[in-house]
Structure 1
Amino acid sequence: MGGFFKLLKGGSQSSLTAAIVNFIISGLKGGAFVLTGNVAMFAEMMHSLGDAANQFFVFIGSALSKKSPTDRFPFGFGRLVNLVCLGAVIIVAILSYETVKEGIHHIMQPGHGAMSTRNLLINLGVLGLGVILEVGVLYKAGKEVLQETNNNYKGLAPLTSAFVHSKNAKPATKLVFMEDTVATVGGILAIIAILIAQFTPFNIAEGIASVIIGLMMFYVVYKIFMENAAGVLGEHAPEMEIRVSQILFSNEHIKDIQRLFVLKEGEDLHVEATVELNHHLTLKEVDDIREQLTDIILQQHHVTDVNIEFKDNDGVQAWPERADDMDHRMPGQNGIFKHHN
């Protein structure tokens, strides 16, 4: 049991924080829906509840994925986080459907228009508080995105530049960031819809908002499903392959790369390479080259395992870019490579 709790400490903290916050928000929105019967509030309640359940499962999955390899599973549990994400999006998909259905029902049969001042204040108060809390979670997730991608995370950067770098973040962090982006936008949209329905004859505004929120949730389902399905199957990481090839060619003794692939398993990257060397090198020199290159590659983001094999140069260029055409600056100089701790 102690080992299980130790694993939980290594889970995605942004997922855990988001799950707790969204459970609280869903309870507040559920209470407001019971008191007011507002359809936009129902959509937001379902959205927050789906996010909370999703993020909790992702937290558990991200923690268990760090479990050490066993005799039965010698390659570890890295892909477990992808499996959990795939299961979690099923919950969001069901709630998305219910949200869209309820919105369409309200559009077809709109309510009575303006609500009482008491109900208006309840809805706006709960939604406003929800948006504030969601922005806090979004900021934390954005900060983790920038930390994981080795970018500056000060000031408003987690709410601005994190969108550009989120595609390179860990699966769990990316999911939380995407879900809370939609949750924040959905909360603001619900507030606008309630105000429109309250002060104009456009009574179907809340139903339209509910449909839009549901469709945004479906978009998250699609993105997360496609990315994690690829992770479960085991996908290659082309950007890291380019970076690793540059690192390999940065050594003057590397003349060609016969084979190179970077396999992505969950949050981890595994590097396999076969390279060609000059004939005259001693075994000690080859071992030194292997150690130097392995250390540099392991410092790249998410890389956990490196296997480099050496062969004599056969004089036939197999890699698309020749070593003589590469920029031979060592990693870390002039910003070509960044070391990730």
Structure 2
Amino acid sequence: MTEFYRLLKSGSKSALWATVVNTIVALIKTAAYLITGNVAMFAEMMHSFGDAANQLFVYIGSALSKKAPTEKFPGGFGRLVNLVLLGAVLIVGVLAYETIIEGFHHISAPTHSENWFWLNIGVLGAAAVLEASVLVKAMKEITEHLPAEKVKGWKIIPESYKNVKNAKPATKLVFLEDNVAVGGALLALVAILVARYTSFHSATGYASIIIGCLLILVVGRVFLDNAAGALGVADVKLQAKIGAHVLQHPQVKDIQDLDVIKEGEDLHVELRLEVDPEMKIKVADDIRDHIEANIKKSIANVTDVIIEFDEDDRIPTWAGPAE
């Protein structure tokens, strides 16, 4: 149990914060929906519960993935976060379906009520602000490796979108879900205003369907990313970067093979290098230590670097990774 609590401390902070915030928001929206019966509020309630459940899974999965390798699992637990996320998206998928169905019901039989207008507006406004705070935290985690001047003030917004593809799995999920959360809250606000001040009383139903569809897009993106992560996806850009760097070493003649595999938040690097066949073991060992140290220094989250040596066949092999 002590180890479990220690691992929890290493879990994704943005996912933990998102879990707390979205649970509070979901309970507020639930109370508002039970009082008002507003279908847009129902969609937002379902969305927030889905976010809270998903991000709780993410937090626990990201923490347990840091567990050290054991005799039974010598490869470690890096892919656990991907497996947990694959399960978590099922919950969001079900909630998205229910949200869309509820929207269709409201369109087929629209209702209009003057009651509780300001309660709905207040709840959704507060939800948008709270969820925006989670989104900002995720943005900061995505851009934490960038120079301070590139993410100063409003610059953090475009930079976070540019770099989200390179974010850790947990942070990427929080970022994607809270984009929908903030956008969904604002959309529901607009729908309630339209239904109040025009004859288009089914606007909240259409808003519910749009929110549900956005959730499905998040489910699809997260599923594809984490299915690839669970299988062990290659990072082609890092392969090219490491290959170019390794070939700068004067005693490395060629690269027969180079793999950079993502496992959750971890990166595993495997190299097979061609060197002078007359090279002594001590020199080869020094080269191994030098290359491993440089890779770990220049690239975050590299957990191990496996390097094999072969004799130089004088035939160029490395032309970069295959796309």
> What is the TM-score normalised by the length of structure 1?
0.90
Q: CA deviation at 1:148?
A: 5.4
Q: CA deviation at 1:288?
A: 2.0
Q: CA deviation at 1:278?
A: 3.0
Aligned to 1:147: 144
Q: CA deviation at 1:274?
A: 0.5
Q: Is the contact between residue 149 and residue 168 of structure 1 (CA under 8 Å) also seen in structure 2?
A: no
How far apart in 2 are the matches of 1:290 and 1:121?
Answer: 67
Cα deviations by residue, 1:175-216 (Å, 9 ceiling, x for unpaired): 000000110000110000100110011111100000000000
How far apart in 2 are the matches of 1:229 and 1:149?
Answer: 28
Q: CA deviation at 1:236?
A: 1.1
Q: Structure 1 residues 214, 148: closer, same or farther in 2, change over 3 A?
A: farther
SS class of match (1:163): helix
Q: How does 1:4-83 map to 2 (within 5 A)?
A: 4-83=4-83
Q: Which residue of 191, 194, 199 maps to 2:192?
A: 194
Q: Which amino acid aligns with 2:130?
A: L
Using the aligned pairs only, state the percent identity: 50
Aligned to 2:108: 108
What value does the CA root-mean-square deviation take over the aligned residues?
A: 1.4
Q: CA deviation at 1:146?
A: 1.1
Cα deviations by residue, 1:50-74 (Å, 9 ceiling, x for unpaired): 0001000110000000001111111
How far apart in 1 are the matches of 2:242 and 2:295?
Answer: 7
Aligned to 2:124: 127
Q: CA deviation at 1:258?
A: 0.6
Aligned to 1:315: 314
Q: Which amino acid aligns with 2:38?
A: N
SS class of match (2:271): strand
| 1:204 paired to 2:199 | no
Q: How does 1:153-172 map to 2 (within 5 A)?
A: 153-172=151-170
> What is the TM-score normalised by the length of structure 2?
0.95
How far apart in 1 are the matches of 2:145 and 2:228?
Answer: 20
Aligned residues: 318
Q: Is the contact between residue 8 and residue 60 of structure 1 (CA under 8 Å) also seen in structure 2?
A: yes
Q: CA deviation at 1:161?
A: 1.3
Aligned to 1:306: 305
Cα deviations by residue, 1:209-245 (Å, 9 ceiling, x for unpaired): 0000000000000000111111111111111111110
Q: Which amino acid aligns with 2:260?
A: V
Q: How does 1:74-93 map to 2 (within 5 A)?
A: 74-93=74-93
Q: Structure 1 residues 149, 234: closer, same or farther in 2, change over 3 A?
A: farther
Aligned to 2:229: 231
Q: CA deviation at 1:149?
A: 6.7
Consecutive unaligned residues of structure 1, counting only runs of 5 or more, are 322-341
Q: Is the contact between residue 149 and residue 165 of structure 1 (CA under 8 Å) also seen in structure 2?
A: no
How far apart in 2 are the matches of 1:52 and 1:150?
Answer: 32
Aligned to 1:286: 284
